[in-house]
Amino acid sequence: MANVRLVDLTKHYKRGSEVIKALDGVTLDIDKGEFVAVVGRSGSGKTTMLDLLGLLLKPTSGSLFIDDIDTAQLGDRQRAQMRAHRVGFVFQEYNLLSGLNVLENVMLPLRYAKNGKEGRGRAIELIDRVGLSDRIKHRPTELSGGQMQRVAIARSMVNAPSLILLDEPTGAVDTETAQQLVDLLKRLNHEDQVTIVLVTHDTDISGQARRQIRLKDGRVLTDERVGEGIPVA
């Protein structure tokens, strides 16, 4: 069953009289539990696709289904609720709140999903799973880049979403830390059957995903199973 379905999804921007086709008629299915890497050059539409999947952007045309819900039918409030319950985000720059400690940062999405009591236990469990139990009261400034990204990954999962979107999550850490983060993601993907869509420039990272979608000029250039080399569509 498809967890995410894009049907002729298009996002155009206007810059003066010029129309920028950031995403141009993308159609694809991503099944539940898949680990997908989206690659491509700068300006290929990777980030736009991620923003559309995360309901941060509205498409110019086409349809996007998440868990079989047609997101085009949703109002702003319902889109926010979808983000709170079904989508997790991880960013290159971590985006942790400096005034909050590790636990509070991980618990931040609970505030908007109204899931406080059960969520706290899940936040503590996730912090343990990402290996930061001994840093639970630490502030972001007291953590390394890798540790901050682990906190961001725990935060993305605290509401038990079905889809996690990662935008260059290893872009600000060294190679060894990047590999540790990917190992963590693979483990969470396997254990929780959460769908992961990861945007990256790093071929070492994208090569470890089970599926790799290459974009060019807003279109899908290739869509293949990595290792198997068998096109998906």
Binding region for other proteins (CB under 8 A): 51, 54, 56-57, 76-77, 80-81, 83-85, 88-89, 91, 95, 97, 99-100, 108-109, 111-113, 155, 159
- Residue (36 or 113) nearer to other proteins, CB: 113
- Residue (41 or 114) nearer to other proteins, CB: 114
Give min distance, CB of 224 to other proteins, in A.
Answer: 29
Look at strands 211-216 and 219-225 and give their pairing: antiparallel
- Helix axis angle, 145-157 to 116-129, nearest 10°: 140
Give min distance, CB of 74 to other proteins, in A.
Answer: 12
- Residue (35 or 94) nearer to other proteins, CB: 94
Give min distance, CB of 152 to other proteins, in A.
Answer: 10
- Residue (134 or 142) nearer to other proteins, CB: 142
Give min distance, CB of 228 to other proteins, in A.
Answer: 33
- Residue (195 or 208) nearer to other proteins, CB: 195
Give min distance, CB of 179 to other proteins, in A.
Answer: 26
